[in-house]
A and B are shown apart, each in its own frame.
Chain A
Amino acid sequence: MPKEHLLTKITKEATEKASEALLKLTHQQASIEFTKIEVGKVKTVFLKLDPESVVAGIYLPISGDTRGASLLIFPEKVSYLLCDMLMNRKLGTTLKLEEHDKSALNEVGNIVLGSILTVLSNNLKLKMIEHMPNFCQDMLGAVIDQVIVQFIQKTEEVLIVELVFHFSGSEVKGYVLLIFETDEIKKLIEGL
Chain B
Amino acid sequence: MKSIEVNMGDVAVGQGEDNLTASGIGSCLIITLYDAKQRIGALAHTMLWAHRLSAEAWDKKEERRKVNLESADTKYADIAIEEMLKRVLALGAKREDLAAKLIGGANMFSAFVSDIGKESVESSRIKLKKEGIHIAGECVGGSQGRSVEFSVNTGIVTVKTKF
- Dominant SS among interface residues on chain B: loop
B111 near A132 (CB under 8 angstroms)? Answer: yes
B23 near A141 (CB under 8 angstroms)? Answer: yes
A59 near B25 (CB under 8 angstroms)? Answer: no
Chain A positions 118 through 141: 1 when the CB is less than 8 Å from some CB of chain B, otherwise 0: 000000000000011010101111
**How long is the Cα–Cα vector from A146 to B23 in the complex, in angstroms?**
14
Chain B positions 106 through 135: 1 when the CB is less than 8 Å from some CB of chain A, otherwise 0: 111111100011000000000000000000
Q: Return chain A residues, CB-CB under 8 Å to B8.
A: 43, 145, 148
Q: Return chain B residues, CB-CB under 8 Å to A139.
A: 23-24, 26, 145-147, 162
A149 near B23 (CB under 8 angstroms)? Answer: no
- Within residues 135 to 157 of chain A, which ones have a CB less than 8 A from any CB in chain B? 136, 138-150, 152-153
B38 at the interface (CB under 8 A from A): no
B153 at the interface (CB under 8 A from A): no
- Dominant SS among interface residues on chain A: mixed
CB contacts between A and B, total, < 8 Å: 88
Interface size bracket, B side: 20 to 34
Partner of A141, one of B26, B111, B116, B144: B26
**How long is the Cα–Cα vector from A148 to B107 in the complex, in angstroms?**
13
B25 near A141 (CB under 8 angstroms)? Answer: yes
Contacts known (A43-B7, A52-B24, A149-B27); A142 close to B145, Cβ less than 8 A: yes
Contacts known (A52-B147, A136-B108, A138-B108); A149 close to B28, Cβ less than 8 A: yes
- Within residues 89 to 111 of chain B, which ones have a CB less than 8 A from any CB in chain A? 106-111
Given A142-B145, A145-B24, 15 additional A-B pairs, CB 8 A: A43-B8, A47-B7, A52-B23, A57-B108, A57-B109, A59-B109, A138-B162, A139-B24, A142-B146, A146-B112, A146-B116, A148-B47, A149-B116, A150-B112, A152-B47
Per CB-CB distance, the 9 closest pairs between chain A and chain B, nearest first, are A141-B24, A142-B145, A51-B24, A142-B26, A134-B111, A139-B145, A138-B145, A146-B27, A139-B24
